[in-house]
Amino acid sequence: MRFGIAFKLGCLMALFGMLPTGLAGYYIYHSSRDLLLQAAERDLLTSVQVLGRNLHASLRNISLDAQVLTNGPQVHDLDAIQDPALRTTVQDNLAESFRAMLLAHPDYMQIRLISTTDHGLELVRQDRDGSNIVRVEGADLQEKGHYGYVFEALHMPVGEVRISPIVINHEQGAHSGLGKPTLHVSTPVANADGKVFALLVINVDLDQLFTQLQGDLPKEYQVYLSNRWGDLLVHPDHRRTFGFDQGRRLFLQDEFPEVSRLLADTGPTALIGRSVEGDRRDKLVAAFVKLSDNAASAPFVVLGLGQPQSHVLAQTSRAGTSILQIALLFSVLALLAAVIASRALIRPLRSMTDAVELFSRERKISELPPRADELGVLAHRFHAMKQEILTQLGDLTSSRAAFEHLARHDPLTELPNRRMCFEQLEQALVAARVNDRKMALVFVDLDHFKEINDEHGHRFGDLVLQAVAKLLTSSSEGADCVARLGGDEFVMCFSDLKDPQKIIGLLEKLHQCFQLPLFIEGHRVKIHASMGVSLFPRDGDDIGTLIQHADHAMYRAKSAGRNRYSFEVLGGD
C-alpha cells in the first residue's frame, strides 16, 4: 500500500509540530520546576536565617531580662540584711518582680534566686502552673547546687550570663515545666562588695519560644532543631525528639544526610538539604544554619526549616498537564492541515522558544504576536505561566522584606526595636570616636504606666505608647535615633554635640512636652516621664556602659520624685 505525499507530509508536520512543542513544554516544565525549587530554597534559607537571628535576639532579650532582675537595688542588698522581717519583705518584693516577668513572658516557666550556700538552696521562686503563677516557699524550696546551671554559673564573672544546653526538665515539683524541653539562663548576683552570693535562673519553655518565633512563618514550614551531635530537639513529630533522654538516639543527619557537614567543626554555616524518606514527590526540601553563642556552654545548635517538595512543585505539575494537552491538540491540527501548517508552524514556534529561553536566562517576558489559532492558545498559556512564576518570585521577595522589617522594628510603635537601636547606637558611637565628637544617650521611662494599664486596659496602654512614640519623634529635633527598648522604655541618641550643655535645652523641651495632657479616645491623660542621660566619652566608651549609666540616671530621677531628668555623673536634675 502506497501512501501519498499529503499523508507523508502530514505525518512529517505532525512530527515536527509535536517534537518542538514537546521539547519546549519539557524545557519550560523543567526550567520552571528548577526555578521554583531554587526560589523555595532561597526563601527557606532566608527564612531560617531570619528565624535564627530572631532566636538569638530572643536569647539576648532573656539574658537582658535576667540582668535587669539582678540589677534591682534590693537584690544586691539582700545578702547584707540580717533582720528577718526586713529580709522577708525584700524577698516578697523580689517575688512580685519575678511574677511580673512571668506574666509578661509566656515562654518563661520559672524564675528563681538560688543561694551559693546551703547546697544551692532556693531563696525566692516563682513557677508557672497552667494559667497561674505559683510562688514556692518554706520547706518546698529545694537545693539545686548539684545542677550544672548552678555550679557552672558560679565560676562566671558578675554580669555574664550562662545559657544551658537544651534538656527535658525532670526536676520534681517544677509545675508546668516538668517533662518539657527547657533551657536555663543563669547569671551571678553580687552584693555591694562585689561578692557573689546568689544566682538568678530563668527556665525557658522551648516549645512556647519556638511557637512565638514561627508564628509568622507559612503553615507548611516545618521547624527542626538539633544539638551539636545531631540529636533531635525540635521536630514536626514530637515522638522523635529528645531520644537520648529515653535511652535511644535519633539524629537529624539520618533524615537529612547533608547536615553531617554542618556538624563538623570546619563545615559550612548554612546549607540546603533533601530528606531521604519517602518517594520523589514526598521528599522534603530544607535549609539549615549553624547557630553559635559564645556565652552558651554548648558550642552550637543546628536550626532548620523544611517544606514538602510536592507543595513547591504543585504549580509546575498543573502547568505540565496543560502543556501536554496543548501539544497533543497541536499535533492533530498539524496532521489535518499539513501544507498550510508547514509554513505557519516554524516562525511562531521559534518565537516561543526564544521567549522561553529569554525568560529562563533573564526572567523577562517578551510579547508574542497575537494569534487566533492553537499556537496563540499555547503562547497565552506560556505567558500566563511565566507571569505566575514572576508573581510567586515577587511574593517570596516581599516575604523576605517583611521578615527583615519585623526583625528590626517594634510592631506597636513602628520605632526601631532593641536590635536595630543597638546597631544605630554602635554606628553613632563609631562615628563619634572617629570624628572626636561628643554624644548623648537619653533613657526615657514612663511614670506610673502600670496604673494606666490597670485603670484603662492594655489596649489603651498601647495607644499611650504610640502617642508617646510620636511625641518623642516630633519633639526631639536633631536626634539620630528614637527607639523603643520594650515595655514603656525608650532610648534617644544625640550625636555631634558641639556644646554638651545643649542637651539640657533638649531635655527641658522634652520635659515641657510631657507636662501637656494627651487626648486619647476622649480621655485627657497626663503622662510624665523620668529621663536619665549619659554622655560620651565622659560616662563611658561603649554602648553597654552608656546605656547602664543612662539607666542609673533614670532611676535616680525616679527616686528623686519622678517627672524629671538626671545626669549620671553631673549629679544635677
| 30-45 per-position pLDDT tens digit | 777 788 888 888 888 8
Do 431 and 399 lie in a common domain? no
Q: Is residue 11 part of a domain?
A: yes
Look at residues 367, 384, 407 and tell me which one is the last residue of a structural domain.
407
Burial grade of 406 (CB within 10 A; 0-12, 13-18, 19 or more): middle
Instruction: Decide if pLDDT at 515 tops 60.
Output: yes
End position of a domain, from candidates 407, 431, 453: 407
Q: Do both 551 and 455 map to the same domain?
A: yes
Q: Name the strand (E) or helix (H) holding 319.
A: helix 314-336
Answer for the pair 260, 279: CB distance below 8 angstroms, yes or no. Answer: no
Mean pLDDT score, 369-385: 70
The string of pLDDT tens digits covering residues 131-143 is: 899 999 988 999 9
List Cα–Cα distances, 387 to 365, 373, 380, 488, in angstroms: 8, 21, 10, 47
Residue 131 domain-assigned?
A: yes
Q: Identify whether the C-beta of residue 227 lies closer than 8 Å to the C-beta of residue 165.
A: yes
- What pLDDT score was predicted for residue 6? 45
Per-residue confidence (pLDDT) for residue 283, from 0 to 100 = 82
In a domain, 557, yes or no: yes
Same domain, 379 and 351: yes
Q: How far apart are CA 555 and CA 531, in angstroms?
A: 8
CA distance 336 to 342: 11
Confidence (pLDDT) at 295: 43
In a domain, 243, yes or no: no
Phi, then psi, of 282 in degrees rounded to 5? -90, 0
Residues 422 and 562 in one domain: yes
Residue range 485-512: mean pLDDT, rounded: 84
Lowest mean pLDDT, pick from 104-113, 160-169, 216-225, 325-334:
325-334
Q: What is the pLDDT of residue 189?
A: 92
pLDDT at position 34 is 80
- For residue range 1-30, list pLDDT tens digits in order: 455 444 555 567 667 666 777 677 677 777
State how beta strands 232-234 and 108-115 pair: unpaired
The x, y and z cell numbers of residue 63, run together, are 539574658
What are the grid coordinates assigned to 208, written together?
512556647
Whether 178 and 105 map to the same domain: the answer is yes
- Give a yes or no: residue 374 inside a domain: yes
Q: What is the pLDDT of residue 570?
A: 45
Q: Report how far apart the first and last C-alpha atoms of the chain are (Å, whole number).
A: 112
Residue 256 covered by a domain: no
- Kindly state whether residue 350 falls inside one of the protein's structural domains: yes
Same domain, 321 and 461: no
* pLDDT tens by residue, 396-405: 666 676 677 7
Which of 347, 376, 407 is the last residue before a domain boundary?
407
**Domain residue limits at 124:** 71-209
Contact 438, 500 (CB under 8 A): yes
Average pLDDT score over the chain: 82
pLDDT beyond 70 at 334:
no
At residue 307, the 3 state secondary structure works out as strand
Residues 518 and 561 both lie in one domain = yes
- CATH code of residue 149: 3.30.450.20
482 plus 503 within the same structural domain: yes
Q: Comparing C-alpha atoms, which of 302, 301, 296 is closest to residue 148?
A: 296
Residue type, 343: R
Q: How confident is the model at residue 571 (pLDDT cuts 50, 70, 90)?
A: very low
Secondary structure element (H or E) that encloses residue 412, with its range: none
389 lies in the same domain as 477: no
Q: Which residues of 41-74 are buried (b: 16+ CB within 10 A; e: fewer)?
A: bbbbbbbbbbbbbbbebbbbbbbebbbebbebee
191-230 pLDDT tens trace: 888 889 999 999 999 888 888 887 778 888 889 998 888 8
Same domain for 143 and 168, yes or no, is: yes
Torsion angle of the four alpha carbons 248, 169, 182, 140, in this order, in degrees rounded to the nearest 10:
-170
Q: Are residues 477 and 339 in the same domain?
A: no
Dihedral, 213, 216, 218, 220 alpha carbons, nearest 10:
30
Q: pLDDT tens digits, residue range 145-166?
A: 899 899 988 888 988 999 888 8
DSSP state of 370: P
Split at pLDDT 50, 70, 90, the class of 297 is: very low
> With bands split at pLDDT 50, 70 and 90, how would you rate the model's confidence at 103?
very high
DSSP tag of 492: E
**Any alpha helices (H) in 164-285, and if so which ranges?**
206-213, 252-255, 259-263
**What integer pLDDT is reported at residue 349 of this predicted model?**
64
Q: Does some domain include residue 558?
A: yes
CATH of the domain at 557: 3.30.70.270
- What 8-state DSSP symbol labels residue 571? -
The Cα–Cα gap between 151 and 188 comes to: 11
Please state the domain count of the chain.
3
Answer whether residue 427 shows pLDDT above 70: yes
Residue 453 shares a structural domain with residue 376: no
What CA–CA distance (Å, rounded) separates 8 from 322? 28
